Amino acid sequence: MIEAHLEKDLFGASGSFRLSVNFRVDDGQCVTFYGPSGAGKTTILRMLAGLETPQEGFIRVNGESWFDAKKRVLLPSHKRRVGFMFQSYALFPNMTVGGNVAYAMQKKSSAKLEDLLGLAGILELKDRYPSTLSGGQQQRVALIRAVASEPKLLLLDEPLSALDIPTRLELQDEILRIHRLFGIETILVSHDKQEVFRMADRVLSIKEGRIHAEGSPRGVFFKRRFSPKFAVTGRVLAIERADIVFRAFVATGTEILQVILGERDAKRFKPGDEVLVASKAFNPMLLPLFEPFDTQAPQHASPVTIGYVD
């Protein structure tokens, strides 16, 4: 079990803010930190790994103190037994696939190395170099290297965001399989709502250094007053006036949706905002994705139409 209280002053796009989080990861859980860029998610992983030092707080892993500001405890990163998987793969370019995985192993064994490579389905790539592999193959190598050291904690920092959707889905399954097989407590950082919903046992929604929602993916993402028949997340590309109404163009995955808004709703959003496009019956609504939903405020969804852009 991992218990942590972390405090650190950070500087983001909107200025300085205080990262202040308390959380726990129970045995064998996969917990996800979800939220917008600049919220402090990666900093949390780096502090857990010992790559950054909190100003206040503590980190305890299975009863062992890795950091405690009051007791002046700071375990060096190389003694923390953490597996770290990055978006950028971070493979050694001058080492083969086998060399990359073997480098992370606590006890060198050719038999165990082949078992690990076989487990990840990359045994036939053993003698190839990272530059000759596809993005998905490189990430499989990075995944099995991260668990080769028999870590107490597996940290995944948006590892699949650079991959195409089919490869991403395949690697999500692979990460879950490895996570369950080894039973390693895992913390995933992601801003992909579908990925979080698919992979997390528990999600911590974070904004500007604070956890403002916690629970199961269903509990966090659908804790709203309405029960949508249709809901997708996306990003506003543009808003333009069309006669007496406004049109919002919203990117959702590989599609672009067009949502017709009234003037009041159009003023709430700007290009770049992450939103939830939701519909109850036949009345779609555009809602801020990262702002707390005020259940007391009247819901003034415009009578809108929604369609795919050809």
Q: How high is the pLDDT of residue 308?
A: 38
Structure confidence by residue, pLDDT tens digits, 16-73 = 999 999 999 999 999 999 988 889 999 999 999 999 999 999 999 999 999 999 999 9
- Domains along the chain with CATH numbers: 2-221 (3.40.50.300), 230-308 (2.40.50)
pTM: 0.74
Confidence band for 298, pLDDT divided at 50, 70 and 90: very low
Structure confidence by residue, pLDDT tens digits, 76-103 = 999 999 999 888 878 999 999 999 999 9
Mean pLDDT lowest among 138-142, 150-154, 211-215, 274-278? 274-278
Integer Cα distance of 276 and 60 in angstroms? 36
Query: Does residue 310 carry a pLDDT above 50?
Result: no
The number of angstroms, rounded, from the C-alpha of 8 to the middle of its chain's C-alpha atoms is 20
More reliable by pLDDT, 302 or 53: 53
Contact 282, 305 (CB under 8 A): no
Region 256-263 average pLDDT: 87
Q: How high is the pLDDT of residue 100?
A: 95
Q: How high is the pLDDT of residue 138?
A: 93
In the chain, % of residues over pLDDT 90:
52
Q: Residues for the chain: how many in total?
A: 310
Strands (E), 100-229: 153-157, 185-190, 202-207, 210-215
First-to-last alpha carbon distance for the chain, in angstroms, is 50
Burial class (CB in 10 A: 0-12, 13-18, 19+), 74: middle
Region 253-268 average pLDDT: 85
Q: How high is the pLDDT of residue 133?
A: 94
Structure confidence by residue, pLDDT tens digits, 141-171 = 999 999 998 999 999 999 888 888 888 888 9
Q: How many alpha carbons lie under 13 Å from residue 85 in its C-beta half-sphere?
A: 32
Confidence band for 302, pLDDT divided at 50, 70 and 90: very low
Query: Does residue 301 carry a pLDDT above 80?
Result: no
Structure confidence by residue, pLDDT tens digits, 218-256 = 888 776 545 556 777 788 899 999 888 899 999 887 678
Location of structure tokens 């045995």 = 27
More reliable by pLDDT, 111 or 221: 111
Integer Cα distance of 257 and 309 in angstroms? 6
Confidence band for 305, pLDDT divided at 50, 70 and 90: very low
Give the bridge partners for 57, in sequence order: 6
Query: Does residue 300 carry a pLDDT above 60?
Result: no
Contact 84, 49 (CB under 8 A): yes
Q: How high is the pLDDT of residue 284?
A: 62
Q: How high is the pLDDT of residue 223?
A: 64
Give the bridge partners for 33, in sequence order: 189, 204
- What tokens does 208 get? 């500007």
Q: How high is the pLDDT of residue 147?
A: 93
Task: Give CA separation, 177 vs 111, 180, 287, in Å.
Answer: 21, 5, 34
More reliable by pLDDT, 294 or 8: 8
Instruction: Report DSSP state, residue 244.
Output: T
Region 273-285 average pLDDT: 72
More reliable by pLDDT, 93 or 285: 93
Q: How high is the pLDDT of residue 166?
A: 84
